[in-house]
Amino acid sequence: MTQAIPATKQTATFTKLVSKEGGVEYDLKPIHVCEETFAPLEVHYDYDAIRRQVSRESIAAGPNSIWRYRAFLPVASENPIDVGTGMTPLLKSTRLARRLGLKELYIKNDAVNMPTLSFKDRVVSVALTRAREFGFSTVSCASTGNLANSTAAIAAHAGLDCCVFIPADLEAGKVLGTLIYSPTVMAVKGNYDQVNRLCSEVANTYGWGFVNINLRPYYSEGSKTLGFEVAEQLGWKLPDHIVAPLASGSLFTKIYKGFQEFVKVGLVADKAVRCSGAQAEGCSPIAQAFKEGRDFITPVKPQTIAKSIAIGNPADGPYALDVARKTGGNIESVNDAEIISGIKLLAETEGIFTETAGGTTIAVLQKLVEQGKIDPDETTVVYITGNGLKTQEAVQGYIGEPLTIEPKLDSFERALERSRTLDRLEWQQVLV
């Protein structure tokens, strides 16, 4: 039986996979590496087709989720897996901006992304929609925590079997925030890079859809929506400068790609956007290469509290380097103490509680401003990619304690007096 095509139907705008080193082309299969160049594969689009399908108005009239940008995403389904992911707030900063001396600072807050409070919900929504199109019944991932949360949650929603792989030493909140969805969880005694290598073997042996291995070309495209949304939320304009965390480097390159695509199809005016990246000093292979002027990455062994971005051998490192250099951006790193200060600074000035990756990004933002590498006049967007409730261990011991009192007015008043004295003392210390 043939069905009438509804008026809103979009034709697929993605046409093939192409090696990132150019040249070699592949069909749209669950593969991720070019057999000839060993380079990652990337989805190729027909931008003329996209231009004919979308307008600012059609996007604004779309769902309040990443799927308003469906023409730019590599899925064929009329009904993608839409759990309300994306369209997270872009907050105009006042107090953090003033503290840093920036005139126009925006915070893109994926710490409240649906359903699992990190940007990974974007890439997983795309990957699992594509996994379903390929007919995979079991989905999987190699994860530093957030990806496991997201894959398990969205697989549960979609009714797909799920097996996730995490390093055994992850934060409790990330483990529990995965188990709650009842997937199979493999806790691997090793760091992320070892987890990732094991998963590549499993992917070759089992017929599973690994969101960040054999589905990676589709998966990674989901991060472009962090570029699209910022452009739309700024009133269909690009910012002057962005600061985002670097783990594998993929997110960073895809935000840039998102901006470029919006220019290409005429949704925003062309503009040079400087792209700066943030790493934790204890795992900063991309920042090191940037500083040393190298275009290759020397893998490192991670040793940092910022576990969600602790990838010692980042797959997209060279491409991230390239984006930072050609846009006039920078890549910096900060140590664990600075990361904790970054978490506290964002909480105390803006009321946003982010995880260690966000603390890293805020601390690098501050460092770049202090170094004069971000101009106070630049419209700057900082990307907060995950929630602080998942890495509570990181800040415990650095945030003070409640004042315990009896349920009586005089007990309260004594405590208040005590706390004010303490505040005054601290204040005097600052002045001294």
- DSSP letter at 66? G
Give the residue with the Cβ less far from its own copies, 53 or 392.
392
Give the residue with the Cβ less far from its own copies, 154 or 320.
154
CA 121 to chain centre: 9
* Least Å from the CB of residue 106 to its own copies: 11
* Least Å from the CB of residue 222 to its own copies: 16
Give the residue with the Cβ less far from its own copies, 87 or 331.
87
Give the residue with the Cβ less far from its own copies, 40 or 359.
359
- Distance CA(271)–CA(423), nearest Å, equals 47
**Coil, helix or strand for 87?**
coil
- Distance CA(362)–CA(381), nearest Å, equals 11
- Distance CA(158)–CA(177), nearest Å, equals 18
* Least Å from the CB of residue 39 to its own copies: 25
- CA distances from residue 332 to 158, 283, 288, 400 in whole angstroms, order as listed: 39, 11, 8, 29
* Least Å from the CB of residue 285 to its own copies: 20
* Least Å from the CB of residue 18 to its own copies: 31
Of all helices (H) and strands (E), which one includes residue 166?
A: strand 161-167
* Least Å from the CB of residue 371 to its own copies: 27
Q: Are the C-beta atoms of residues 252 and 287 closer than 8 Å to each other?
A: no
**Coil, helix or strand for 255?**
helix
* Least Å from the CB of residue 276 to its own copies: 24
Nearest Cα to Cα of residue 252 among 360, 145, 353: 360
Give the residue with the Cβ less far from its own copies, 253 or 391.
391
- Distance CA(277)–CA(63), nearest Å, equals 30
Nearest Cα to Cα of residue 142 among 215, 35, 82, 75: 215
Give the residue with the Cβ less far from its own copies, 12 or 202.
202
What is the phi/psi pair of residue 247, to 5°? -115, -85
* Least Å from the CB of residue 33 to its own copies: 19
Give the residue with the Cβ less far from its own copies, 24 or 156.
156
Give the residue with the Cβ less far from its own copies, 253 or 366.
366
Give the residue with the Cβ less far from its own copies, 22 or 397.
397
Nearest Cα to Cα of residue 242 among 275, 281, 199: 275
Region of residue 101 (left: phi > 0; alpha: psi -120 to 50; beta: else): left
* Least Å from the CB of residue 265 to its own copies: 23
Structure tokens at 391: 């890495």
Q: Are the C-beta atoms of residues 242 and 273 closer than 8 Å to each other?
A: yes
Residue ranges of alpha helices (H) inside 180-297 are 192-205, 216-219, 224-233, 250-264, 285-291
* Least Å from the CB of residue 117 to its own copies: 7
Half-sphere exposure of 322 (CA within 13 A, CB side): 12
- The count of other CB atoms within 10 Å of the CB of residue 42 is 21
Q: Are the C-beta atoms of residues 228 and 198 closer than 8 Å to each other?
A: no
- DSSP letter at 72? G
* Least Å from the CB of residue 215 to its own copies: 18
Give the residue with the Cβ less far from its own copies, 116 or 225.
116
The one-letter amino acid code at 224 reads K
Give the residue with the Cβ less far from its own copies, 75 or 352.
352
